[in-house]
Amino acid sequence: MNKIKALIVIFLVSVCTLNAQELKSPSGNFTMKFSLLQDGTPTYQLFYQNKEVIKTSKLGLELKNDAKSLLNDFKVVSAFPAAFNEIWNTVWGEETQIQNHYNELAVRLKQNGTEREMIIRFRLFNDGLGFRYEFPQQKNLVYFVIKEERTEFAMTGDHKAFWIPGDYDTQEYDYTESKLSEIRGLFKKAVTDNASQQQFSETGVQTSLMMKTADGIYINIHEAALINYSCMSLDLNDKTFVFQSHLTPDAKGDKGYMQAPCVSPWRTMVISNDARAILASRMTLNLNEPCKIEDTSWIKPVKYVGVWWEMITGKSSWSYTNDFPAIQLGVTDYSKAKPNGTHAANNKHVKEYIDFAALHGFDAVLVEGWNEGWEDWFGQSKDYVFDFVTPYPDFNVQEIHAYAKSKGIKMIMHHETSGSVRNYERHMDKAYQFMKDNGYDAVKSGYVGNMLPRGEHHYSQWILNHYQYAIEKAADYKIMVNAHEAVRPTGICRTYPNLIGNESARGTEFQAFGGSKPNHTTILPFTRLMGGPMDYTPGIFEMDIAKLNPNNNSHVNTTLANQLGLYVVMYSPLQMAADLPENYNRFLDAFQFIKDVPVEWAKSKYLEAEPGYYITIARKDKNSNNWFVGNSNGTTPRTSAITLDFLEKGKKYEATIYADAADADYKNNPQAYKISKQKVTNKTILKLRTAAGGGYAISIVEVK
């Protein structure tokens, strides 16, 4: 990513003593105060528009098997202020350029008695604060084990929060909206409703955590640049409303193995009195390192279809046969097995998807269930079941590649690891080379199930290092990665933009597993998407799952117009039209929006937003002057009023509006939509009714 403009200067901050420092944001809206308590405990305090938003909060780390932790008894050795301002170009993103502008304060601490040194580096942006711990090379601190990180985030009151439990292995929860003081009472229901295992305290929540104060200030807590460290959740003291960091343990209960020189991830707080500014923040990306891939020309945003939803709903199966109760890799002869008749990843059916993709201008087709081993992937042979290069008898890799190439379609590989990361690493080079040999430029990887090695969690340091290894190894082969069931993103896609997608949250598949709350996608952009794009897989047109599988009574809790709006609201450079081709053929007029909407954007405008209630976003196509608008509405019908002042002055446009019909309702009439056209300019105000669980989508094309 080329730097267009960079300015680094040293500036002065007024200080009383080294032990008390003050830092202001470039705009002056934020003030951060650092100080040491009497016992030498480092603390920080944050003000927004002269109002305290983070009370005095302690900093430090508790070490394992150490007589003295990095918690107190510090003195300030030095404090170095600096300022930084640059504009960098994105490989892909919600805009083509991002400004990285902050004031910085690096406080160097030395601990009395141990003479250990630790730097706390603060960066104050116009949208919030980021800080991290740094451990320089030194003789008194080389190898150390983290027992717990003791970073605090002290709230000023009993804020409203949108939260999910602090699970070590999944983020696939519906969000609960409550006061902080109500989390304990609602915790068990939140866990039960999402059928997860309780592995955490009854006041533990995950980041990105979205809150709103009584006086209308929005606070988002997360982390950035999570590398070689353990994922952070937050434990709440619901009497004092103080959050404390809680790192995911490994199989031994340890939280992190460190060797100086090293750094922690950034702890982030994005804060504003306007919810739209939270969505517009790029602080998480800015706290990551610049791109480390020199040639990024092979990294391309992708719109795709795939053999997936029919398996998720139970209409079809991933497995080829029902003959074998247990599979032994290299021993089982699938050619002698009886096909079960429901295996979706067969040559004939996949060619039908390729034909559909080519007909409607899509880029690629994803095929899951193509390789041997799905019959017993949760069984005792799990550690060896997938080798990632051997197809079932009814799927010919070379034949499908040749057919797709003749149609101008790329194929997307699927690697389900079943959580056996050592097995995946053993096969990774061979698997990636197999992809390149057969024309695959992208892979969807999966980590469903308990982790192997046994006892490890999806978000512990060792497993996170595996995810990072997979991304970097894929870059060596010029392969893009879409990781599912991995850790939620923290902006690493800036450094490695071949990480083109993640799941790591409750995606569309849960609409076939009993449903998600109708307002789910009005929360995700404020939480999960703060760290990077999500492969949410929108575009479901048939909401009654029983019509695909009579044994599945699930219902997709949105309207069809909402599904269209998600292509703009749920940002991703990797967008799937997830439903079956036959369902799209029933609604080809609505399907036109999915065909038209881009996956590359020049700029984004956040028109209206309230977490949990509604979001409306406008984005400009990277390759034309066209604009696209998407809205997702919560459980209460409302009228959305937007001004099109983002359009170029003096020009005329035609807007095609895909909206909820007057009688639309996510439960009773989800497929009721209306399509209209009208001429618009930058002075036009549109008022559109959105149903419960509804929304709308608009394509705006310049009239030549």
Q: Which residues are identified as catalytic?
A: 509
Instruction: Please give the torsion angle defined by the CA atoms of residues 475, 299, 101 and 682, in that order, rounded to the nearest 10 degrees.
Output: -160
Closest CA to 311 of 369, 353, 366: 369
Angle at 269 (CA atoms; ends 535, 89), nearest 5 degrees = 55
- How far apart are the C-alpha atoms of 168 and 459, rounded to whole Å? 6
Which residues, in sequence order, are bridge partners of residue 243?
153, 236
Cβ proximity of 166 and 200 under 8 Å: yes
Would you call 580 exposed, middle or buried from its count of C-beta atoms within 10 A (0-12, 13-18, 19+)? Answer: buried
Say which residue the tokens 């409203």 belong to: 160
- How far apart are the C-alpha atoms of 683 and 341, rounded to whole Å? 58
DSSP conformation letters of 129-172: EEEEEEE---SS-SEEEEEEE--EEE-SS--EEEE-B--SS---
Q: Is 178 helix (H, G, I), strand (E, B) or coil?
A: strand
Q: Is 53 helix (H, G, I), strand (E, B) or coil?
A: strand
Angle at 269 (CA atoms; ends 265, 274), nearest 5 degrees = 150
Q: Which residues have a Cβ under 8 Å from the Cβ of 299 and sit 6 or more positions away?
A: 91, 92, 293, 480, 497, 498, 500
Would you call 7 exposed, middle or buried from its count of C-beta atoms within 10 A (0-12, 13-18, 19+)? Answer: exposed
For 174, other C-beta atoms within 10 Å of its C-beta total 17
Q: Which residues have a Cβ under 8 Å from the Cβ of 589 and sit 6 or more positions away?
A: 675
Instruction: Find out whether the peptide bond into 208 is cis, omega within 30 degrees of 0.
Output: yes
Q: What six digits make up the tokens of 636?
A: 């209460």
Q: What six digits make up the tokens of 468?
A: 């990072």
Q: Which residues have a Cβ under 8 Å from the Cβ of 371 and sit 6 or more positions away?
A: 386, 387, 388, 389, 390, 391, 392, 414
Which residues, in sequence order, are bridge partners of residue 146?
63, 256
Residue type at 585? N
Say which residue the tokens 């569309």 belong to: 508
Say which residue the tokens 């009714």 belong to: 689
- How far apart are the C-alpha atoms of 576 and 694, rounded to whole Å? 20
- How far apart are the C-alpha atoms of 538 and 545, rounded to whole Å? 15
Cβ proximity of 638 and 614 under 8 Å: yes
Say which residue the tokens 């996949």 belong to: 350
